[in-house]
Amino acid sequence: MSESNTHEGNSRRQRFSFSWSPLTVILIANVLLVLYLQLIAGQNLFEPRTLSTLTPLLGVMVLVGLAQAFVIGTGGIDLSLPSVITLMGIMMLRESGGQNDLLPKALLVAALVCIVIGLVNGLLVEVLGLNALVTTLATGQLILGATVIYREGALKITKVPSALSSWAQANVFGVSLILIVALALALVILLFVRRIGTGRRLVLASASLRASQLTGVRYLGLRVLAWVIAALVGGVGGVLLAGQLSSPDMSSGGPYLLLSIVVVVLGGAVLTGGRVGPFATVLGATFIILLDHGLAVQGFSSGARTLVQGVVLALGLAGVGLLMRPRTTKAKNGDAAEPPAAPSEPALQSA
């Protein structure tokens, strides 16, 4: 009888036990930040004017974070994303000539360029085995230099087509269409990596080279695909940012160099590769945008806000390292310790 009661008690404790996870932490952090800004700092975050200011920024941040998440899930970092974002804005100017009827052509050319950039990065890193950090830093500088030359051919064009800017600046009850698109894309990515065969194989190839080799997955092609998807998603962010700004310039992508990494890390990713959740990345982007907004309203300079972002990245990396450390159950009553459980879902597959 006593053994039965003990077993029932243990089962009940396991059923109602609470364990901290990066997703839980970033969710709680967002709630606390919203409460602080709303109730203590006196900032009405849900006022239509504030929503129309914050939600387009959040939408672009989510898109850039999702792009970086695909690469970080493979154990790499894409430092060329800011240059891609800048290039997309300049392409919307030059390829369209500021005319609505040439906008489809500009979008098609931009998509093809993103595919080429993703392929180049993927082949250099995955096939040739070059260091991702150094490689993408170099390709980013090449893209930026080419963009400067490319922009000189159309300096008189200063505004993107009105169809793009009016759509990117539109909102529904104060919520930007850019954010709605970003959330929809996050859902599509989640379904892709969970329900579609190619997506699930991409997850396996990203999580473990050895595991993908043993199961017969063509890991190299799929890992290159991750870089292509990252460039395309980042390109979407760049195009929508260009529409939001209406007059993009050569500095459009600069702020996203550090931020694209921060939002993914805050969502629980580790830079060595592994689990990356689309909606955890959304929460990481939300925290960064709200934090930056709060600091800006309180009068902090851009330098001070960048410093805070660096501190947040360091704390996020340390926190994720602690939370993702394998946990062992200490021996109790003479029982041996239990080994840490293997993760049930690898990279890009958590919420």
pLDDT digits (tens, 9 = 90+) for 80-111: 999 999 999 999 999 999 999 999 999 999 99
What are the phi and psi torsion angles at 56 (to 5°)? Answer: -65, -40
In a domain, 74, yes or no: yes
More confident residue, 298 or 3: 298
What amino acid is encoded at 223 in this protein?
Answer: R
What amino acid is encoded at 180 in this protein?
Answer: I
Residues 223-260: pLDDT tens digits? Answer: 898 899 999 999 999 999 999 999 999 999 998 998 89
Residues 324-333: pLDDT tens digits? Answer: 665 434 444 4
In a domain, 15, yes or no: no
Write the CA distances from 123 to 102, 114, 222, 225, 334, integer angstroms: 32, 14, 11, 10, 53
Q: In angstroms, what is the C-alpha Rg of the chain?
A: 22
CATH code for position 83: 1.10.3470
The reported pLDDT for the residue numbered 198 is 76
In a domain, 5, yes or no: no
Give the total number of structural domains in the chain. Answer: 1
Maximum CA pair distance of the chain?
A: 86
Please identify which residue in the block is written with the tokens 């946990």: 327
In a domain, 304, yes or no: yes
The reported pLDDT for the residue numbered 111 is 97
In a domain, 98, yes or no: yes
In a domain, 343, yes or no: no
The reported pLDDT for the residue numbered 318 is 77
More confident residue, 43 or 200: 43
In a domain, 344, yes or no: no
In a domain, 146, yes or no: yes
Domain that holds residue 317: 22-31+45-323
Is residue 310 within a helix (H) or strand (E), and if so which, with residue range? helix 302-323
175 - beta bridge partners? 172
Residues 187-228: pLDDT tens digits? Answer: 998 888 888 777 777 777 766 665 555 555 567 888 898 899
What average pLDDT score do residues 69-88 get?
92
pLDDT at 4 over 80: no
pTM for the model: 0.83
